[in-house]
Structure 1
Amino acid sequence: MVYSFEPVYECFRKQALPSFEGKVNPMVAKDWLKSVEAIFDHMELNDHQRVSCAAHLLKIDARLWWEVVKETHDLNTMTWVDFAIAFGKMYYSTAVLATRVDEFVTLVQGNLPVTDYAQKFERLARFTHEIVSTEVMQIQRFMRLLKPMIVRNDKMTSVEVVSYAEVLDKALEAE
């Protein structure tokens, strides 16, 4: 579906997406990028429309970053993938990503309730595709780091699970 820019932008603006201010927090940056990508997919926008709409959501430090990008890239040929790569280089720096990977590798449930552990697990897992690249790997890692008393609970061992959502549900029941 092809739109002229003005109706596309008006429709996009009505989605009430948050702006991105450029704070260097990879979780916030990744959440923002995923949010706009979901709307782009729904609206079936082309690359130029995606880049233009996203640029309108950049504020403060992110707007300054975008001004530099505009000077160093040809916006007429910039694809959404090009935008996402440049955005990632800026807001998911190697050092920040390494920190998130370290957090994920050392994450254990400990004294956390299952809901809090699952939330941390899921947030950090987004930065560690090589560690949990499949749902089976995600399930195994999640279960391995749960409290032993939960893993050994009858609710966890009595039913064969086939999805991460089922494992989480059983862990919540077992808690």
Structure 2
Amino acid sequence: MELGGFFEASPAKFNGKTSLDVADQWLKDMERIFDAKICPEESRLAFALHMLTREKPVTWEAFRRKFLSEYLLDSVRYANEVEFLQLTQGNKSVAEYVEKFQHLGCFYTMPLDEEWRCRKLQNGLRGDICLMVAPLYIKDFAALVEKARVMERMKVEVEAQHSQQ
């Protein structure tokens, strides 16, 4: 079932500031619509979220944090956070380093602004690549990643030309 088909049934919005009876009736109405429209189980949550109106909307990041806090052991989260803080490029390519950086960055518990992420990524780059990108003072994460990849590619090309001579 498509979202449009769901909305054809005119489901009610729910703001959470109601009695238990109203909440129970809303849930029953939603389930009746799902059943009538033959809505698959895997779509029901997404459709129901569209009908929630609250002061603070459910964002992907909020859902992700809640999910990780429920299903990932604190010790694993802490170990990943420590690994993130100590992460450097080492012998990885820029692409591999950025992938690991983004994965482990999800476990960092402090707020990450764009400039901090750039500084952290840049400081972990191998010295030769860091020397090429640091003077550029890039404060946009995507731009920094792209520039580091370009510098890495140029370095490889220059080294290949020197080895042929």
TM over 0.5: yes
User: Is 1:108 the equivalent of 2:108?
Assistant: no
- The residue identity in structure 2 corresponding to 1:151 is C
| Alignment partner, residue 120 of structure 2 | 141
Q: Distance between the aligned counterparts of 2:121 and 2:63, measured in 1?
A: 33
3-state DSSP class of the match of 1:100?
helix
Distance 1:11 1:143, change over 3 A: same
Q: How far 1:83 moved relative to its partner?
A: 8.0
Q: Distance between the aligned counterparts of 1:135 and 1:93, measured in 2?
A: 28
User: Is 1:150 the equivalent of 2:154?
Assistant: no
Residue deviations 1:104-140, cap 9 Å, x none? 122110000000000000000011041x621111000
Distance 1:169 1:84, change over 3 A: closer
Q: Distance between the aligned counterparts of 1:142 and 1:13, measured in 2?
A: 37
Gaps of 5+ in 2: 1-6, 12-29, 153-165
Work out which of the residue numbers 128, 142, 147 in structure 2 matches 1:170.
147
Instruction: Report the count of equivalent residues.
Output: 117
| Alignment partner, residue 99 of structure 1 | 79
Distance 1:141 1:85, change over 3 A: closer
Q: How far 1:44 moved relative to its partner?
A: 1.8
State percent identity of aligned pairs: 21
Q: Distance between the aligned counterparts of 1:171 and 1:85, measured in 2?
A: 30
Larger Rg: 2
Distance 1:133 1:84, change over 3 A: closer
Q: Cα RMSD over matched residues?
A: 3.7
